[in-house]
Amino acid sequence: MKLVSVPSDQGNLDKNKGCSQAPGQILGGREFEEVQVVPANFEETDQVIYERAKEVLGRERALFVGGDHSISYALVKAFSETSKGKKALVVFDAHPDCVQFFKPLSHEDWVQGVVEEGFVEAENLMIVGVRKVHELERKYLKKKGVRVLSAVEVKSAGGQARDKLLQLIALSEEIYVSVDIDVFDPSIAPGTGCLEKNGLLEREFFGLFEPLLDSGKVRAIDLVEVNPAKDSGKTLGLAKRIVERAVEGMK
């Protein structure tokens, strides 16, 4: 299993500048590779991320650490093209990230890009922990049939939320998991750009993350939007625990 740093925050629309510094701090002390981003060139950086991810995923499982959430578009594209089974995408995020669709894709619309480009079928996409949705996004998700587990549902009906996730896992052969740190409540993850109250607690997150890892079907994970410049130390500590569990679960 490969650890890969993707230190790009070019797609954050100036909302989380500084998250490019997170990979080195999260992965410090571990052996990892780093994608060489192209400064001030979003499109070329996207291509470099895609090409490196496709090379890595063609051989082995991988955990990618960003960076802002726009990197996931290129990563999921690489996953899709190297996957040999029925694909699923599970996204932990406070936001659906499907505001609009035009390239280059930002951290606000990469999910819509993944669906529109056909990297993963909409019915095989689940977004977990959502609690702020634009009306245009709400209509898009309903039209496409994207599975959504709101933060409220995870908190109030954890067993049912887990069952819905298990259903998707059972229908899938290979899974990509994307973790935006803003899925967590700001009280435990203050170091990010788009804080939304009433987020997931650590036990609620791991109650859903663990079944994914235990399935043995996860081929790739990304962890994004951690910003050391906005952090008290809590967010980096949480990110390191996620990495530790992911490494154990993907051996």
Mean pLDDT of 192-206: 97
Mean pLDDT of 69-81: 96
Cβ proximity of 8 and 67 under 8 Å = yes
Structure token pair of residue 25: 């701090």
Burial, 242: exposed, middle or buried (Cβ in 10 Å; 0-12, 13-18, 19+)?
buried
Residue 247 has pLDDT above 80, yes or no: yes
- What proportion of the chain, given as a percentage, has pLDDT over 90? 87
Check residues 78 and 99 and name the one with the higher pLDDT.
78
Judged by DSSP in three states, 152 sits in helix
Mean pLDDT of 68-84: 96
- What's the CA dihedral at 218, 220, 223, 225 to 10 degrees? -120
- C-alpha distances (whole Å) from 6 to each of 96, 135, 155 are 22, 31, 32
Residue 102 has pLDDT above 70, yes or no: no
Tell me what pLDDT residue 42 has.
85
Residue 39: asked if its preceding bond is cis (omega within 30°), the reply is no
pLDDT digits (tens, 9 = 90+) for 24-66: 999 999 999 999 999 888 899 999 999 999 999 999 999 999 9
Burial, 188: exposed, middle or buried (Cβ in 10 Å; 0-12, 13-18, 19+)?
middle
Q: Which domain holds residue 15?
A: 2-249
Tell me what pLDDT residue 103 has.
63
Q: What share of the chain is helix, strand, coil (3-state, %, to 5)?
A: 45, 20, 40
Tell me what pLDDT residue 11 has.
82
- What proportion of the chain, given as a percentage, has pLDDT over 70? 97
- C-alpha distances (whole Å) from 42 to each of 37, 47, 105, 136, 174 are 9, 9, 9, 25, 29
**Residue 65, beta-bridge partner list:** 5, 223
Mean pLDDT of 150-173: 97
What band does 16 get if pLDDT is binned at 50, 70 and 90?
confident
Burial, 17: exposed, middle or buried (Cβ in 10 Å; 0-12, 13-18, 19+)?
middle
Q: Which of 138, 228, 129, 229 shows the shortest CA–CA distance to 177?
A: 129
Residue 184 has pLDDT above 70, yes or no: yes
Residue 13 has pLDDT above 80, yes or no: no
Mean pLDDT of 146-164: 96
Check residues 237 and 14 and name the one with the higher pLDDT.
237
Tell me what pLDDT residue 251 has.
83
d(CA 189, CA 169) in angstroms, rounded, equals: 27
Mean pLDDT of 88-101: 90
Mean pLDDT of the chain: 94
Tell me what pLDDT residue 104 has.
64
Residue 106 has pLDDT above 90, yes or no: no
Tell me what pLDDT residue 63 has.
98
**Tell me, what CATH number does 156's domain have?**
3.40.800.10
Domain count, the chain: 1
